[in-house]
Amino acid sequence: MRKESILPLSGFSLRQKLTWLAAVLMGLMLVAVNVGVYRGTVDFYFTGVLVVAWINVILAVSLNLINGFTGQFSLGHAGFMAVGAYVSALLTIHLNWPFPVVLLLGALVAALLGFFIGLPTLRLRGDYLAIATLGFGEIVRVVLLNLDITGGPRGLGGIFPKTTFFSAEVLAALTIIVIGNIIRSSHGRAFIAVREDEIAAEAMGIDTTRYKVLAFAIGAAFAGLAGGLFAHHQMFIDPRSFTFQRSIEILVMVVLGGLGSITGSVIAAFVLTILPEALRGMAEYRMIVYALLLIGLMLVRPQGLLGTKELRDMLGIDRVRWLKAEQPAAGALKSHGGDGR
């Protein structure tokens, strides 16, 4: 009879213990950064980079809901971001409404557009959908170029800088929590069922079109939110900020982190925002590196870095002695580990 240890991580593999160590270190780093920004010891430039990182987290996690969890291939995320950015910026400039209201309306308009675009196009499959969403993104860009109210190719300037590190952080956290909860709800299981096998899902009574449109609209809403934050961070937006290239950058984050892993998207968004800043001198190679990353990942590790694993799976949260509500039977532990897929 083995003696039961009272240590929280007893029985964990070395790999899991290292993951814990890494997670704790990252948590401490996050706390340190927050304290630093609060006390003003983090310099202005790096704070700006961190804001962009949080915005990218929102974009990547929301695109992951569409591409990763629901298995629909959207290439138009920059279009929704643009809609949110322009709507919120115009409301700020012309009406000077409060920042949260403006962000919410930007997200709402993006969601509505996502709904109306999704309704017809989501009947298409895979690569056709990719092209249709790409086309949508381009149409948004062309419309923005041609309207008077958006300033056309000159763009919109003089947007008040209302996005702070903390508002970006809180909204990114909110995005992670909301989308994470959706994934674990019965709606989320329906999304995943659509991804795994549309026909089987339909046979099980899932209204596949409804769930695809739902995922699309939710993803669009968060992209619109990110767009609003982006506009009030940059203080200037023009149609060139929302090209196909931007959609690809978000896609790279999702694919690198793992299609179907929120943790992966968050980590990839941070790495791919901060790394290029650190490697400024190699700026012209950035898109080449992105391209090689996409090809290399698909050839070597198509599931991305984390596959569909989340932090809680990797840490084995449910097995930590101190957090456990009751002692599960010995056999019950084995069935965990995967996440039921």
Partner 1 sequence: MQEVIQQLVNGISLGSIYGLIALGYTMVYGIIRLINFAHGDIYMIGAFVGYFAIRNFNLSFLPALLVAMAVCAALGTAIERLAYRPLRNSTRIAALITAIGVSFLIQNAALLAWTPDPRSYPDVFPLRTYEIGGVFVDNRQITILSVAVALMVVLHYIVNFTQIGRAMRAVAIDADTARLMGIDVDRVISFTFALGSALAAAAGVLVGIYYNRIEPTMGAMPGLKAFVAAVLGGIGVIPGAMLGGLVMGVAEVAVVALTASTWKDAVAFAILIVILLVKPAGLLGRQVREKV
Q: Which residues bind partner 1 (CB under 8 A)?
A: 71, 73, 120-121, 123-128, 130-132, 134-136, 138-139, 142-143, 145-146, 199, 244, 248, 251, 255, 284-285, 287-288, 290-295, 298-299, 302
Least Å from the CB of residue 150 to partner 1: 13
Rounded CA-CA distance 95/238 in Å is 20
Nearest to 261 by CA among 320, 306, 223: 306
Give the residue with the Cβ less far from partner 1, 71 or 228: 71
Contact in structure between 37 and 165 (CB atoms under 8 Å): yes
Least Å from the CB of residue 251 to partner 1: 7
Where do the DSSP E strands lie in 47-152?
Answer: none
Least Å from the CB of residue 238 to partner 1: 14
Tokens of 264: 């992966």
Instruction: State the CB neighbour count (10 A cutoff) for residue 316.
Output: 18
Least Å from the CB of residue 210 to partner 1: 18
Q: In the block, which residue shows the tokens 């202005």?
A: 44
Give the residue with the Cβ less far from partner 1, 298 or 333: 298
Least Å from the CB of residue 239 to partner 1: 10
Give the residue with the Cβ less far from partner 1, 11 or 126: 126
Least Å from the CB of residue 187 to partner 1: 22
Give the residue with the Cβ less far from partner 1, 132 or 172: 132
**CA distances, 156 to each of 88, 110, 137, 153 (Å):** 11, 18, 19, 9
Give the residue with the Cβ less far from partner 1, 284 or 326: 284
Rounded CA-CA distance 56/254 in Å is 10
Give the residue with the Cβ less far from partner 1, 43 or 197: 197
Give the residue with the Cβ less far from partner 1, 79 or 188: 79
Least Å from the CB of residue 289 to partner 1: 9
84 Cβ contact list (under 8 Å, min separation 6):
103, 106, 107, 109, 110, 223, 224, 225, 226, 227, 228, 231
Rounded CA-CA distance 121/195 in Å is 16
Give the residue with the Cβ less far from partner 1, 125 or 336: 125
Give the residue with the Cβ less far from partner 1, 71 or 188: 71
Q: In the block, which residue shows the tokens 């809680």?
A: 312
Q: In the block, which residue shows the tokens 């590190």?
A: 165
Least Å from the CB of residue 296 to partner 1: 8
Alpha helices (runs of H) in 147-285, residue ranges in sequence order: 165-184, 186-196, 198-203, 208-234, 244-257, 262-278
34 Cβ contact list (under 8 Å, min separation 6):
166, 169
Least Å from the CB of residue 142 to partner 1: 4
Q: What is the dihedral of CA 168, 166, 23, 223, to 10 degrees?
A: -10
